[in-house]
Structure 1
Amino acid sequence: MFPYMISEDKGAYKTSFEYIFKYFAAKDPLKISENSGASFDPKQSILQIKSLGQVLDIKYPEGDVVFNGSKYMPAWNWRWLILQYLSQADNTPITNKLISYRELENGYVNYTAFLRKSIDPLAKYFSQEPVEQIRAACLILDASIEENADVCAKIHLFPRFPLTIKLWLSDDEIEGSANILFDKSANHYLDTEAINEAGIMVSYFLIKQYELMYKSV
């Protein structure tokens, strides 16, 4: 785990979790495991999931989330997304067909905010950074590197919820640009509001990871 991944305030955003705790607890943990790609240990009543290169333990039915082998909790939005994913996952196969945020259910409503908070920071921050260094930071977050852009990283947020970051770096004639794309099955695993938060979080994590690797003094 890395410092930027860890929650600083255990009591923060409590109200944001009230509904999802109830929704999660009402689900059958074996069904959650089957539908999400998580594993379930009935003796300890713990679901375990891999996310962004980390292994996380989720206590059932309480919904407490910690990094495996520690007492540290991940950032509040990461915990919220994990519980949303586990509760909503329905075992729909990944299609490997990419869509934009606007193509999600009602995605056009918040697209401007998604662009401003998720995509624009990537374009601005990475526009003049070395390609190989960007790719190395992506790999730490459990990405597979693909073609079709200067940097194209398929980042595995959850076992059945990848997102793809594409970066085109600036040169003498054009400014840098970016995009974040999702599998066509995305709304089977997270609703559009949660996907918005996922984009913000992964964008932030990638920038912080890059800073940790290459900007630290």
Structure 2
Amino acid sequence: MDTNYRIAYNKGWQDVKQKDPVQIAAQMAVTYLPDTQQFIVPFLNQNYLLDLKQETIACQADGKTPEIEAAILLLHYLSFFQSKAEVTNKWVSLKEIPHGGSLFYPAFHKTAIHDLITAFGQQPQLLHKCAPILGGQAATFGDASAIFQVFPKIPLCVIIWEGDEEIAANATLLFDPSITYLLHIESVIGLGGYLAKRLVRLAVPQKASYIQA
């Protein structure tokens, strides 16, 4: 494991253990099992079991350990919240999120947004094939869009606009403003980037099947 990831992972466990697990469960809409000291956390259409005693994280369905980025995001979701923020049902760009969103947006666009454009910009319908695998529900924005309940209290929205000979393809990834109170700005960026990466990864075999057809 990369040293920076290891540091963030270990600190994530420390931060979770400093909070009352019952309060975490109540405020973040997850399940806490006091007898086993475990949390059950829904994340991108899967439930994950976080064991406080063993400091382990595993997918409840198959027992597999999540990618390190996902593991850190799970820990941050349980530990960072500052208030009982509720979803506003509004959408904002990373540029509109306080504490550095506008500063980090160019780098976010260069990676996450650019990759979404590359994967889906010429075939927006692919988004509607990939999104349900991660729990995404089709929305009515752009040429293709989907809303993902990434965590119980954190929805994200991906929108694709198809390109042609005259207009370049485009994409965006939007957040509910309440995320400001639930995750540190670096975790906000990490969450958006992780969702984009998972979608792009799912798009590759779908594109191949289109070409073969």
1:130 Cα offset (Å): 5.0
- Show the 5 A alignment for 1:50-89: 50-60=42-52, 62-89=54-81
Matched residues in 2 for 1:35 and 1:58: separation?
17
Out of 172, 176, 186, the position equivalent to 2:179 is: 186
Out of 8, 11, 21, the position equivalent to 1:29 is: 21
Structure 2: gaps of 5 or more residues: none
Out of 112, 115, 118, the position equivalent to 1:118 is: 112
Normalized per residue, the structure richer in helix is: 2
Q: Deviations over 1:152-205 (max 9, x none)?
A: 111111010111111001123211100011001011111111111111111110
1:134 Cα offset (Å): 1.8
Q: Among the aligned pairs, what percent are the same residue?
A: 24
Matched residues in 2 for 1:10 and 1:110: separation?
22
Is the partner of 2:101 in helix, strand or coil?
coil
Is the partner of 2:102 in helix, strand or coil?
coil
Paired residues of 2:124 and 2:143 also in contact (CA < 8 A): no
Matched residue, 1:6: none
Is the partner of 1:155 in helix, strand or coil?
strand
Q: How many residues align?
A: 208
Matched residue, 1:4: none
Q: Structure 1: which 4+ aligned runs deviate by more than 4 Å? A: 9-12
Paired residues of 1:21 and 1:62 also in contact (CA < 8 A): no
Q: Deviations over 1:58-90 (max 9, x none)?
A: 112554210004431101011101100111233
Matched residue, 2:188: 195
Matched residues in 2 for 1:180 and 1:130: separation?
14
Is the partner of 1:13 in helix, strand or coil?
helix
Q: CA RMSD in A?
A: 2.0
After superposing the two structures, state which structure 1 stretch, 83-92 or 98-107, moved more.
83-92
Paired residues of 2:124 and 2:160 also in contact (CA < 8 A): no
Matched residue, 1:45: 37
Matched residue, 2:127: 134
TM, length-normalised to structure 2: 0.90
Matched residue, 1:3: none
Matched residue, 2:89: 96
Out of 125, 141, 153, the position equivalent to 2:146 is: 153
Paired residues of 1:40 and 1:47 also in contact (CA < 8 A): yes
Matched residue, 1:5: none
TM, length-normalised to structure 1: 0.89
Matched residues in 1 for 2:151 and 2:30: separation?
9
